[in-house]
Chain A
Amino acid sequence: MTQSALGALLHNLREKRKLSLRELAQLADIDHAYIYRLETGDKISPSEEVLSKLIRALKPDKREALMLRYLAKYPETDKALVMYVIDDPSISFEIFTSTAGAAFRGSTRPDYPKLIQRVKKILGEEYGD
């Protein structure tokens, strides 16, 4: 089973809080097996109720919480992008969603640092940032 972007982010947040699966399950009041399935990609789109419980238990910052909700809605998002963004707090949620939803024509796809830089540049020019 390929780990989904949501699964990777959940795992990352759980490790940051130094919680075991069972501890998170207890805090969130969710079956630990279900959390495991979410983290491994066996389940990809949790309900709003489950997501809210996980967010309450994991205590992510605002950007991370928004990303969790986004990934539940768009499970095909590339895991590599999510992990890159998580490691760089200067990338806003807005820049993340613009990058994640980008469409391309052509075989050459820029790497994420370059793509994010391009999105920032265009939005900067647009809004004078």
Chain B
Amino acid sequence: MAIDEITAVMRARQLVSEVNPANVPVDITSYASHVDAKIHLQSDLEPDEPGWSFENSGKYHICVSEKDSSERQRFTICHEIAHIVLGLPSEHKSLPWWSYNTRPLSEILCDIFAAELLLPYELFKPIADNEEISFLTIDELAERFVASITATGSRYAAVNIAPCAFVLSEMGKVRYTSRSLAMREVSAWITPRTDIPKGTLSERIRNGEVTDGPYEIEADSWFSDWTRGGVLLEDARHISRWDQTLTLLWFEDEEVPPSIQEIDEDLMGLKELDGILPWPGRKRRK
């Protein structure tokens, strides 16, 4: 059966509910035990070889590089658990592990699954919703959950109640955007594979400018076909080692600007009375 993103998320949440982690950071070994996997730390893995796994007589073995940071080890373990639970074979052969450029879908699904385990919705969302939107919050959450900034930022935007988006760009091009529900509902769309917009903080820090955000930027600088206007707040980080730029965007006062239609309706006020009652529905009046 082909696995899509929703299935991957549902299976991950099922595993989380079965293990029912209560504390932050989540105990990753409890997930591994639940799927009958043993974790091995290995010293002879290459720098671009964070981990691997195999099955033997119904028992799984997950091997991670002992040289990696605990954040990376934890994500790798969760990624390998995804391979086990989803039954997805490993396809990647020659791409950088961090690249979303042309990564096989199975690897992206395993990353989505891994983020669900590492940053469980029930534990992560209440904390994310209660903190002020900022990159600093992402830093703090990443530290608290012992997860990478990229994984945490992506999850932070996805579950946030406020209108915000987290953008991952590589080599100056947008690769992936995670948007909150409020952003998705108003079609705040950032076109993948396009250049980081000119004049944005993200572009400037990628070009070596040293500056602290957030900065204000017209919303249509980032969003495609955006007619609502408004000003976004933008904060960004650049990881030169991988030429990755991480961007956090959000609306000030956590409100999306109204559309022209919504403004018109506001100005028009209530509809003129015409003697026809809008309630109850036609069927009931018969």
Chain A residues at the B interface, C-beta cutoff of 8 Å: 76, 94, 97-99, 101-110, 118-119, 122-123, 126
Is B95 a contact of A103 with CB atoms below 8 Å? no
Q: How far is the CA of A97 from the CA of B56 in the complex (A)?
A: 8
Is B52 a contact of A98 with CB atoms below 8 Å? no
* A residues near B38, Cβ cutoff 8 Å: 126
Interface CB pairs A-B, < 8 A, 30: A76-B89, A94-B57, A97-B55, A98-B56, A99-B54, A101-B89, A102-B52, A102-B54, A102-B90, A103-B83, A103-B84, A103-B88, A103-B89, A103-B90, A104-B90, A105-B50, A105-B76, A105-B79, A105-B110, A106-B49, A106-B52, A107-B48, A107-B92, A107-B96, A108-B48, A110-B46, A118-B63, A119-B54, A122-B40, A123-B56
Chain B residues at the A interface, C-beta cutoff of 8 Å: 38, 40, 42, 44, 46-57, 61, 63, 76, 79-80, 83-84, 88-90, 92-97, 107, 110
Is B95 a contact of A107 with CB atoms below 8 Å? yes
* A residues near B51, Cβ cutoff 8 Å: 104-106
* A residues near B61, Cβ cutoff 8 Å: 122, 126
A76, A108, A122: the one within 8 Å of B49 (CB):
A108
* A residues near B80, Cβ cutoff 8 Å: 103, 105
Instruction: Evaluate whether A106 and B48 lie within 8 angstroms (CB atoms) in the complex, with A101-B54, A101-B55 already known.
Output: yes
Given contacts A103-B90, A119-B56, 13 further A-B contacts (CB under 8 A): A76-B89, A102-B54, A104-B92, A105-B50, A105-B80, A106-B46, A106-B48, A106-B49, A106-B92, A106-B97, A109-B93, A110-B49, A126-B38
Q: How far is the CA of A14 from the CA of B57 in the complex (A)?
A: 30
Q: How far is the CA of A101 from the CA of B48 in the complex (A)?
A: 20
Is B40 a contact of A104 with CB atoms below 8 Å? no
* B residues near A107, Cβ cutoff 8 Å: 48-49, 92-97
* B residues near A105, Cβ cutoff 8 Å: 50-52, 76, 79-80, 97, 107, 110
Q: How far is the CA of A94 from the CA of B93 in the complex (A)?
A: 24
9 closest A-B pairs by beta carbon, nearest first, are A103-B90, A103-B83, A108-B48, A102-B54, A108-B46, A108-B49, A106-B97, A106-B49, A104-B52
Identify the closest chain A residue to B93 (Cβ). A109
Nearest chain A CB to B21 CB, angstrom units: 22
Identify the closest chain A residue to B53 (Cβ). A103
B48, B55, B93, B107: the one within 8 Å of A98 (CB):
B55
Q: Which of B51, B54, B89 has the most CB of A within 10 A?
A: B54
